[in-house]
A and B are shown apart, each in its own frame.
Chain A
Amino acid sequence: MTQVLLVLAILLALGSGVPALLGARDSNRRQRLGAGLVVAAGVFALCAVAVSALESAGILDATVTAGWLMRACGLDGMQRWFLVPIAILGPCAAVYGTGYWPQASHPENGRKVSLFLGMLVAGLMTIVCARNTWPFLFGWEAMALAAFFLVATEDDNPDVRQASWHYLVATHFTTLSLFAMFSLMRAATGSYDLGPLPASISVSLSNGLFLLALFGFGIKAGVFGLHVWLPGAHANSPSHVSAILSGFVLKIGIFGLIRVLLWLPHPQLWWGGVILALGTTSALYGVVAALGQHDLKRLLAYHSVENIGIILMGLGVALLGRSLGRTDLLILGLAGALLHVWNHCFFKSLLFLAAGSVVHAAHTRTIDQLGGLLRAMPWTGAAFLVGAVAICGLPPLNGFVSELLVYLGLLRLTTHQTGLFWLAGALAAPVLALVGALAVACFVKVFGAVFLGEPRTHAARHAVEAPRSMRVPMAVLGGLCLAIGLASPLLAPLLDGAVSMWTPHAHVRLLAPLGSVSLAALALVLIIALLAFWLAGRLRKTGSTRAVTWDCGYALPTARMQYTAASFADILTSLFDWVLKPVTHLTAPAGRFPRRATFSSHVTDIALDHAIYPLAERGFELLSRLRGLQGGRTQAYIVYIFAALIALLWW
């Protein structure tokens, strides 16, 4: 029964763009029909989750499905955990798209976006529920290529072409290492079915598979160093596509990593150490790089690197716990990582959708050209604020719950008595605290510069609120952020089901104070409400007058006198300029009566600009020496074929 529902969901998502394709270029009605199909796909997927939970509890009979279908796909605890977010996010993005990218206003590429968005959701669902290598890889390629076409939506823009090209190169590296990994696994088990590898394989093979998985899935997840494709692709695609890319496509890398790590025998202690170190580096680098960004969506993209880092920190703790035989570390780390997968999916896609509304209204992504949008766009502003508070890991929202679990894992590692492993926890936990505080700085900067104060440009002054089709998905995602923050114990059974794939009979609530956290969050909301009520009453009684901002006595402040986002972040970015390596362009004022002076600066990406590009240039130089071989003369090619034949016969 589960399998039938899953296939229906995948087919509905896959075909959701077909009505639009068969209709007129500018038919909004066809696009809405497609969005409806994605919503239906999401509902079917959620039903599949519910049915499979009942089947695994023995309440429903699971054996009625055909055997080959059972081998191809299905849902265990971990797969259920990962299917829920895409089943919610996919429909939200599709509905948002009907307002944000209506075909009537985008006849040149509206149908393309609808078609590939459905294909992307279908691909993601296929990967999550695959039980065999072939559906997994098939879904993987569908996802990878659909995402490429979506990133390249506005392919008349050179920035977009470059970003999609980076993405395509990166995703092919992923596929390459996945082919290698799955072939080795096939050789080890003798079957294409996905599952645990026999303990008879050698330790070095296990290590090799670990490195292949880390590299391949790490590119997709955007781990530091392999994240080079991520900021450009997220910034340059339509915002509802960015929401899915950041909200779930990155997580599919985490999903793959978690699956494969479970199947590999002989887990080594250094695996956990490497993943914890990578996670800590990614988290710190992501937030520092985000602080230096001037582009709203690029900034959010770097925060994805940060959050993937936090997820990996949890996973690293879990792996160390597995190797040290500490089940408590395993459960806390894994539960923290898994819950952060959900949370990041919801708050980051909320932030991308809110950023999309800003772009939709003000036609710019440059933070320092916005300002004062909260008055014109109260809903979008409130949605962004919810996302911002959640992503900083602040109570009473959901980010706090999952970060707390990761912290608890790290703190327990700190109290580990034998060996020096505890120092790993003792160094990683303060870094996570630093990351949290830097995230607060970054999101105060972006929320303040975009939504508060005075509008800095004409476009920002005349912004209007997003239509309802865009507000409803934001409200759904924001509501989920609040609900998980206030009522996380309700998620415990589903979370236990996922964690139990790694260690049987896991009970997260025995180790993590989910109930206390919920009560504290409720108490916080209550105190805020009481104080707000008191202040409103006081203000009514004592009276208040509206006047111009005091600004130290200046009577006519203008928007140009406001502090900019770049100045706001300057203390921190100048402290970290050894990693950001900013490039500045200065035309200094010259002469007695200087006419004009300009200053601009942007930070570079340490991996892309200082490692990959120089490396690629060297590679290009070396390889271009071989260019003479391909002169375009047919005779020469025939000679090559002849030589190759001779060589093969000889061999």
Chain B
Amino acid sequence: MLSDALQTVLHLLVAFLLPPLLGGLIARTKAFVAGRVGPPLLQPYYDLARLVRKGSVISKTTTWVFKAGPVVSLASSMLAILFIPLGAHGPLLGFSGDVLLLVYLFGLGRFFTASAALDTGSAFEGMGAAREVSFAALAEPAFFFGLLCLCRITGSFELGTMLGPQLGSAWIAASAPLAMVCVAWLIVLLVENSRVPFDDPRTHLELTMVHEVMVLDHSGPAFGLIQYGAALKLQIYAAILVRAALPITTGNALTDWLVFLAGLAALAIAIGLCESTLARLKLTGIPKFLVGAGLASAFAVILLAR
């Protein structure tokens, strides 16, 4: 058995040290499907270590907002992850209504990332920022209807309880709505973390990028903050989705952690498979797809009205 203190330490380690590994696993999966050897699993960590030691080139057009972008967006993700339960282990912080704090912290990060992009005066970064804020706005109802389902089912507005042990029994009573919510959240995860089929960070054409084009001008330590922040954000969405889909609380802390980590790994591999097998959506098709995802999770709410 793991003691409480040990679990808290483990929680912090998983929360702040694990995120880059998810990116490594996705890249590894894609390489495997393509028949390549691919980068080592720990490549994202090496990249981060290299970035913080590198010098920077900063555009003459920019002001302090350019540097505030990476700082504020990482800070909001760092605060947000403290409110997220990791598997069966409850979150480190929490209050009734913290689910709204989560949504608005991502909004704060987005505000500053997009402002930093506009600060360079580059048309490409302007396009990226416009796409990011527009798609995120359309993804918001899809995410929120899902949260409402959990609020209604568990009667709580605190992420720790909403994704707590009760959710396991709720799956029996309300499996259809919860399944719809999981599908909608998978779409939200792919959009918010700029994944295929909505965005392809690996493309070489800036004109078609969404997230990656916003950070074209960032370099060195600031870019390191952005990369780490992106990994953290992926982990937050992944942890919520894994817990909603696998609400297993065995009572044995070690098993619970293993279930959660296996879920994360499976999700990362699934994202990698998605990226290997799906083509990108047409840019103008993304809003329609997102509205569709929003309606799917709205249906989940309606199903609860029976």
Taking Cβ atoms with an 8 Å cutoff, the residues of A that contact B are: 371-372, 374-375, 385, 388-389, 392-395, 400, 403-404, 407-408, 411, 414-415, 420, 422-423, 426, 429-431, 433-434, 436-438, 440-441, 443-445, 447-449, 452-454, 512-513, 516-517, 520, 523-524, 527-528, 531-532, 535, 538-539, 542-552, 557, 559, 561-563, 567-572, 575
Contact = CB atoms under 8 A, between A and B. Distances in A.
A381 to B, nearest CB: 8
Interface hub of A516, A545, A546, A563 (most chain B Cβ within 10 A): A563
A436 B107 contact: yes
Interface in B144-184: 144-145, 148, 151-152, 155, 157
Nearest to B141: A430
A394 B60 contact: no
Contact of A434 (B118, B122, B140, B206): B140
A371 B61 CA distance: 11
B136 interface: yes
Interface string B53-93: 11111111111010110111011101100000000000001
Contact of A415 (B122, B151, B221): B151
Contacts of B302: 423
A420 B305 CA distance: 8
Contact of B118 (A404, A444, A517, A550): A444
B52 interface: yes
15 contacts: A374-B65, A394-B107, A394-B111, A411-B151, A415-B155, A433-B140, A433-B144, A443-B111, A452-B118, A520-B95, A528-B72, A538-B52, A550-B59, A550-B216, A552-B122
A453 B110 contact: no
A282 B294 CA distance: 21
B115 interface: yes
A440 B119 contact: no
Interface in B91-115: 93, 95-98, 100-101, 103-105, 107-108, 110-111, 114-115
Which 4 A-B pairs rank lowest in CB-CB distance, beginning with the nearest?
A563-B126, A448-B118, A453-B121, A516-B95
Contact of A448 (B57, B78, B114): B114
A595 to B, nearest CB: 25
A444 B129 contact: yes
B60 to A, nearest CB: 5
A436 B305 CA distance: 26
Contacts of B137: 434, 437-438, 440-441, 572
B104 A448 contact: no
Given A389-B111, A430-B145, A444-B114, A548 B60 contact: yes
B225 interface: yes
Q: DSSP majority for the A interface?
A: helix
B225 A535 contact: yes
A416 to B, nearest CB: 10
Contacts of A524: 75-76, 79, 105
Contacts of B101: 395, 400, 404, 517, 520
A549 B61 contact: yes
A426 B76 CA distance: 27
Interface residues on B, range: 35 or more
Contacts of B121: 371-372, 452-454, 549, 557, 559, 562
Contacts of A414: 148, 151-152
Contacts of B55: 542-545
Interface of B: 52-63, 65, 67-68, 70-72, 74-76, 78-79, 93, 95-98, 100-101, 103-105, 107-108, 110-111, 114-115, 117-127, 129-131, 133-134, 136-138, 140-141, 143-145, 148, 151-152, 155, 157, 206, 216-217, 220-222, 225, 287, 294, 298, 301-302, 305
Contacts of B117: 448
Given A395-B105, A429-B144, A523-B79, A547 B118 contact: no
A441 B134 contact: yes
- Which of the listed residues B67, B119, B126 has the most CB atoms from chain A within 10 Å of its own CB? B126
Contacts of A512: 97
Contacts of B127: 563, 567
A562 B123 contact: yes
Contacts of A561: 123
Interface centre among A420, A449, A542 (most CB of B within 10 A): A542
Contacts of A445: 130, 133
A548 to B, nearest CB: 6
A568 B130 contact: yes
Contacts of A535: 67, 70-71, 221-222, 225
Contacts of A527: 75, 78-79
Contact of A569 (B74, B78, B130): B130
Contact of A513 (B60, B96, B301): B96
Most buried by B among A394, A422, A423: A394
Contacts of A572: 134, 137
Contacts of B52: 538, 542
Contacts of A520: 79, 93, 95, 98, 101
A389 B120 CA distance: 20
A638 to B, nearest CB: 67
Given A549-B59, A552-B206, A557-B121, A542 B221 contact: yes
B110 A440 contact: yes
Contacts of B305: 420, 423
A407 B217 CA distance: 37
Contacts of B111: 388-389, 392, 394, 440, 443-444
Given A430-B145, A527-B75, A436 B56 contact: no
Contact of B126 (A375, A567, A575): A567
A375 B60 CA distance: 11
Contacts of B129: 444, 448, 563, 568
B115 A444 contact: yes
Given A430-B141, A528-B71, A437 B136 contact: yes
Contacts of A544: 55-58, 220
B101 to A, nearest CB: 6
